[in-house]
Chains A and B, each alone.
Chain A
């Protein structure tokens, strides 16, 4: 289990090791063909900043070799904003007094019609954590409902047990995203004071449960803005490294969501916006390139929380999948467009506009890159 690997590392030691990397370490890492975790530390360190252009070129070449001139398109579908957790950064937090809504079958299908109209074939289901209303039976039903419409179904919901994942995979689930948010245990507890989510270790072991359940693909990441991003991303790379060796038949993707401003509703706690550990655009580019140079095969995903200009320019730097036209509220596409969003999106262009932008850059937007027929044995 990853916990054993995790416990061999000390947060402060990791952090000072990253910040202690020098130009020599960076140059050594850049010169290698295969890079290890120490090289990754050098590439995300402040010492690598002067090498950003070189990193970008290497990252572009490595991404082209593996993924070609293609960008995978996906779209989120929020099914519910009901949530029993308190997360200091999230609009769906239990203590945020908003109207709660969970979509019915009929409403889901109305939303699906809009997504199909947009051209989507890969969908990402999102919910809060409300086990009594949005538990495994609800999710299973939703997956079965969606399966005829999408070639690839991903899910970003609360962590589940292994047998629950097995049930959902058998129903047609292909990918599960589960972000640790932060690998800093103390800060994790501060940002997740209440609800099941406050259990750091259960969340940390989720990718292991997913791997044992035989999931086709899983997505890792941290929420950038909760802690020192460099240290958190090192732990993500450490986790990836462990998972690839342990669950070698599973594919992996990484996301790097930066915190966006959220509406705090009637909640008096206005500390939501006061994060002092954000990362700059330049640093995000550094991170994307560093992930690619560390791992040529991992998928790197970018959501609409980033700006138009930024998204236009990172298409060629190592990103392999992006969303477009996203709504982050349940019913946001057609059923109830006015409800509160989980986070404010920045790039509001339509999927067609994004597809055009991708083509103008000499890449092809790919709508379909999976088929339920390929995972036959899991459903028998």
Chain B
């Protein structure tokens, strides 16, 4: 079987380029089964959902598999200051310095705050965190984040949970072209074809949650995403044939030059 190249992120190697979330599932048991089926090796967990001081957290106990690396996220914070405080708690409680930095002061569309995110990222990198920031598909912001030392950038395809696909496609292409750190397309991926599209485009990984959790059969959907991400990556590595908007003319306009 053909294999695609592994992803290296902050010095860690990932065979799977499908990152997953843990929200919205109808039970922790089903979440576990779906994440196992997805082959995912990086799983994000909202701090607000876990009992940081508790001994027996329902979500965490179902993520206790060697292949799952935890990626705590700061969903719920509104400022850089809150994010930094929450990140430190997460590091202590979950014993990882990996962090999905999410600052969305707007609770309606959960859109990331570029200013606070950049501020927090700079500070958190200095504090020794491996920062994966969730942000708009803004190429300039991505370069700024890269410069302050984030391990990746995670631009959105569409608003979180919207399942609308790669609405930011043109900007994602610029980000992928310019980035020196891995680009993870986060948010908005609603179907395996969207995930494949992002991978074909050259994204290093995708993060999917709602589309798996809310489907009628999350385990099967997780497998479908696994295959789509692999197929998309394989196609990217195999180099897609260029798309053509026109048929080849039977009598080429420049044929006379050959006479």
Instruction: Please name all residues of chain B whose beta carbon is closer than 8 Å to the beta carbon of A64 when the two chains form the complex.
Output: 214
Which chain A residues numbered 45 to 69 have a C-beta less than 8 Å away from chain B?
64-69
Complex CA distance for A355 and B86, rounded to whole angstroms: 29
Contact between B25 and A249 (Cβ–Cβ < 8 Å)? no
Complex CA distance for A331 and B74, rounded to whole angstroms: 37
CB distance from A246 to the nearest CB of B (A): 13
Instruction: Please name all residues of chain A whose beta carbon is closer than 8 Å to the beta carbon of B161 when the two chains form the complex.
Output: 65-66
Contact between B24 and A68 (Cβ–Cβ < 8 Å)? yes
Interface size range of chain B in the complex:
20 to 34
**How many residues on A have C-beta within 8 angstroms of the other chain's C-beta atoms?**
30
Complex CA distance for A369 and B106, rounded to whole angstroms: 17
Task: State whether the Cβ of A70 lies closer than 8 Å to any Cβ in chain B.
Answer: yes
Instruction: Please name all residues of chain B whose beta carbon is closer than 8 Å to the beta carbon of A370 when the two chains form the complex.
Output: 48, 76
Task: State whether the Cβ of A110 lies closer than 8 Å to any Cβ in chain B.
Answer: no
CB distance from B80 to the nearest CB of A (A): 9
Instruction: Please name all residues of chain A whose beta carbon is closer than 8 Å to the beta carbon of B163 when the two chains form the complex.
Output: 65
Contact between A373 and B86 (Cβ–Cβ < 8 Å)? yes
Task: State whether the Cβ of A25 lies closer than 8 Å to any Cβ in chain B.
Answer: no
Instruction: Please name all residues of chain A whose beta carbon is closer than 8 Å to the beta carbon of B27 when the two chains form the complex.
Output: 359, 364
Q: Which of A68, A366, A368, A374 contacts B82 (CB 8 A)?
A: A374
Contact between B214 and A376 (Cβ–Cβ < 8 Å)? no
Complex CA distance for A351 and B33, rounded to whole angstroms: 27
Q: Evaluate whether A377 and B25 lie within 8 angstroms (CB atoms) in the complex, with A69-B214, A249-B107 already known.
A: no
Q: Is the interface of B mostly helix, strand, loop or mixed?
A: loop
Chain B residue nearest to A361 (CB atoms) is: B26
Q: What are the interface flags for B130-168 relative to A under an 8 Å C-beta threshold, 1 for contact and 0 otherwise?
A: 000000000000000000000000000000011100000
Contact between B76 and A68 (Cβ–Cβ < 8 Å)? no
Task: State whether the Cβ of A336 lies closer than 8 Å to any Cβ in chain B.
Answer: no
Task: State whether the Cβ of A337 lies closer than 8 Å to any Cβ in chain B.
Answer: no
Task: State whether the Cβ of B114 lies closer than 8 Å to any Cβ in chain A.
Answer: no
Chain A residue nearest to B24 (CB atoms) is: A68
Instruction: Please name all residues of chain B whose beta carbon is closer than 8 Å to the beta carbon of A369 when the two chains form the complex.
Output: 48-49
Contact between A297 and B107 (Cβ–Cβ < 8 Å)? yes
Complex CA distance for A297 and B106, rounded to whole angstroms: 11
Complex CA distance for A217 and B108, rounded to whole angstroms: 12
Q: What are the interface flags for B93-123 relative to A under an 8 Å C-beta threshold, 1 for contact and 0 otherwise?
A: 0000000000001111100000000000000
Contact between B26 and A70 (Cβ–Cβ < 8 Å)? yes
Instruction: Please name all residues of chain B whose beta carbon is closer than 8 Å to the beta carbon of A380 when the two chains form the complex.
Output: 81
Q: What are the interface flags for B11-45 relative to A under an 8 Å C-beta threshold, 1 for contact and 0 otherwise?
A: 00000000000011111100000000000000000
Task: State whether the Cβ of A105 lies closer than 8 Å to any Cβ in chain B.
Answer: no
A-B contact pairs, 5 of them (CB 8 A): A68-B24, A249-B105, A366-B49, A374-B74, A374-B77
- 6 closest residue pairs by CB, A with B: A68-B24, A69-B26, A376-B85, A251-B107, A374-B76, A249-B105
